[in-house]
């Protein structure tokens, strides 16, 4: 009997087709995902390139503006200039060309920024020539200036009154602008406010309505121009970019201040108090000063130089004993009356190390104390005048090559301060009146800070004090320059 064979159905061809289809689908999906991710990366890189090119073009406008202003200040009105350079962080280069208009009243500037891959952005601007000003604009020393990325917010229930500048460095793409904030019940009054490379946000309405905010960022979340938002009105920073920032060369400034303090120590050989301003003339030898020297003043050295570069002992007020000479209303240009708690300062006093004031004092004189270390103010420091208001013979100017610290609650300080490092305000209910300029930013302002500008303080600043912010309005018989328009093509 024969055997019957039944053939099985062979599905191998179908399985292979399915496998191949799945593989094809996976390849298609992978290819699509790769394309999408590649396209996204490409677009992100392109945006970063455009941002870098725009930043470079913007920098070119600023450089061209500063170059033309310096020429005008020297009395030279040129037909035009070309400036070039690059932004180190991105290697984007700029070329800015400026030309004088037919009426010789303004310059038209075109600045092109180019990244290494060839991406270009163009910014155009107009610079109006400004005749000499009879009255300086209220910047100069009448400002609160805080530079550096540490500036973030002011909290509490205090008030900031007066011109206020916060200048951030340009962000490195893809990072965006940071935001400077007034939080809690902290209030801004007066102004104007300048926020460069940052946004401005206030929890409370402006104390003075309107308060103008010049920024290349947003104001309370808005980027519109001329519209009132809770008392704050935004205008482009570029429309009034009339200030330059000249930072201090610390080593040069310290050396110059040391030389001035040494030379001025000669004028009080016998404790002469015949003149209102003690450092008018240099008479005698600094090392032969006959009066009681201050703490840490080297016995054989100039009496207005505290400590030495080796010892760096610094100066602390109150000192254990009085020093200098202060008969009646006359005084040496560096003296301290321990009984009456009065500090006398004229001209320049140089301190190797830190300056610490931890007892409430009043001061007499229109001088500057320059210290190579930190500044610590832990008690009231006020002018010895009726109402504690500074005047032409009562304004203490303080310069620190380190950080300025106000660590104690309820401290009341009136004067002018320049800090290379940050200004730290960690205490409660600080009352600061005068001028406060910091290259290192504002930190720890968390507990109700009150800062008030004094409109006339610029006229009282000691010549031993550096000036950080300058306006471009014409002065001293020379024309100035004002930026009147700025836009991205």
What's the CA dihedral at 253, 255, 256, 262 to 10 degrees?
140
Lowest mean pLDDT among 170-179, 204-213, 479-488: 479-488
Looking at residue 295, what is its pLDDT? Answer: 92
Task: State the pLDDT confidence band at 314, using cuts at 50, 70 and 90.
Answer: very high
The pLDDT value given to residue 29 = 61
- pLDDT of 472 over the 50 cut: no
Which pLDDT value is given to residue 328?
Answer: 67
**Rounded distance between C-alpha atoms, residue 486 and residue 82, angstroms:** 18
Contact 389, 453 (CB under 8 A): no
- Cα separation, 431 vs 449, in Å, equals 7
Which residues touch 170 (CB under 8 Å, ≥6 apart)? 55, 59, 87, 89, 197
CATH 3.30.1300 occupies which residues in the chain? 18-130
* Omega of the bond leading into 318 within 30 degrees of 0 (cis): yes
Where is average pLDDT lowest: 63-67, 310-314, 402-406, 438-442? 63-67
Q: Which two tokens stand for residue 118?
A: 């060839």
CATH, domain 18-130, list 2.60.60, 1.20.58, 3.30.1300, 2.60.40: 3.30.1300
**For the whole model, what pTM was predicted?**
0.68
| Average pLDDT across the chain, whole number | 80
Instruction: Label residue 276 by pLDDT band (50, 70, 90).
Output: very low
pLDDT at 36 over 50: yes
Strands (E), 131-265: 144-147, 153-154, 159-161, 164-167, 178-182, 187-189, 193-196, 198-202, 211-215, 228-229, 232-236, 243-245
């Amino acid at each position: 009997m024969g055997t019957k064979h039944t053939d099985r159905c062979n599905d191998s061809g179908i399985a292979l087709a399915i496998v191949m289809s799945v593989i094809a689908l996976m390849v298609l999906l992978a290819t699509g995902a790769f394309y999408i991710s590649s396209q996204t990366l490409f677009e992100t890189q392109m945006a970063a390139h455009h941002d870098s090119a725009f930043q470079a073009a913007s920098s070119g406008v600023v450089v061209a503006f500063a170059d033309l202003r310096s020429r005008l200040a020297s009395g030279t009105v040129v037909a035009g200039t070309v400036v070039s350079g690059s932004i180190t962080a991105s290697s984007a280069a700029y070329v800015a060309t400026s030309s004088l208009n037919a009426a010789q009243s303004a310059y038209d500037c075109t600045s092109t920024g180019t990244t290494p891959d060839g991406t270009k952005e163009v910014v155009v601007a107009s610079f109006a020539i400004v005749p000499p000003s009879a009255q300086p604009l209220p910047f100069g020393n009448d400002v609160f200036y805080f530079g550096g990325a540490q500036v973030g917010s002011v909290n509490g229930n205090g008030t900031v009154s007066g011109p206020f500048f916060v200048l951030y460095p340009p962000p490195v793409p893809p990072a965006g602008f940071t935001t400077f904030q007034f939080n809690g019940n902290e209030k801004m009054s007066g102004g104007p406010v300048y926020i460069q490379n940052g946004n401005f946000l206030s929890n409370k309405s402006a104390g003075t309505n309107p308060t103008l905010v010049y920024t290349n960022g947003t104001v309370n979340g808005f980027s519109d121009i001329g519209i009132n938002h809770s008392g704050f009105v935004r205008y482009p920073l570029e429309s009034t970019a009339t200030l330059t920032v000249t930072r201090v060369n610390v080593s040069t400034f310290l050396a110059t201040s040391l030389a001035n303090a040494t030379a001025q120590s000669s004028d009080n050989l016998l404790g002469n108090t015949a003149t209102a301003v003690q450092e008018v003339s240099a008479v005698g030898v600094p090392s032969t000063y006959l009066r009681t020297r201050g703490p840490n003043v080297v016995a054989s050295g100039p009496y207005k130089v505290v400590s030495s570069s080796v010892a760096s002992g610094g100066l602390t007020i109150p000192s254990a004993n009085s020093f200098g000479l202060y008969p009646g209303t006359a005084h040496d240009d560096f003296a301290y009356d321990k009984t009456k708690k009065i500090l006398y300062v004229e001209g320049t006093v140089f301190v190797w190390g830190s300056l610490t004031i931890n007892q409430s004092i009043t001061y007499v004189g229109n001088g500057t104390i320059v210290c190579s270390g930190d500044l610590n103010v832990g008690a009231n420091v006020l002018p010895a005048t009726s109402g504690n208001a500074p005047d032409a013979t009562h304004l203490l100017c303080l310069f620190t090559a380190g950080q300025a610290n106000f660590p104690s609650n309820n401290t009341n300080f009136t004067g002018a301060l320049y800090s290379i490092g940050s200004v730290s305000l960690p205490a409660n209910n600080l009352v600061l009146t005068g001028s406060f300029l910091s290259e290192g930013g504002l930190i720890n302002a968390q507990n109700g800070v009150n800062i008030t500008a004094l409109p006339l303080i610029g006229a009282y600043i000691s010549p031993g004090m550096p000036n950080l912010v300058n306006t471009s309005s014409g002065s001293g018989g020379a024309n100035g320059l004002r930026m009147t328009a700025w836009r991205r093509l």
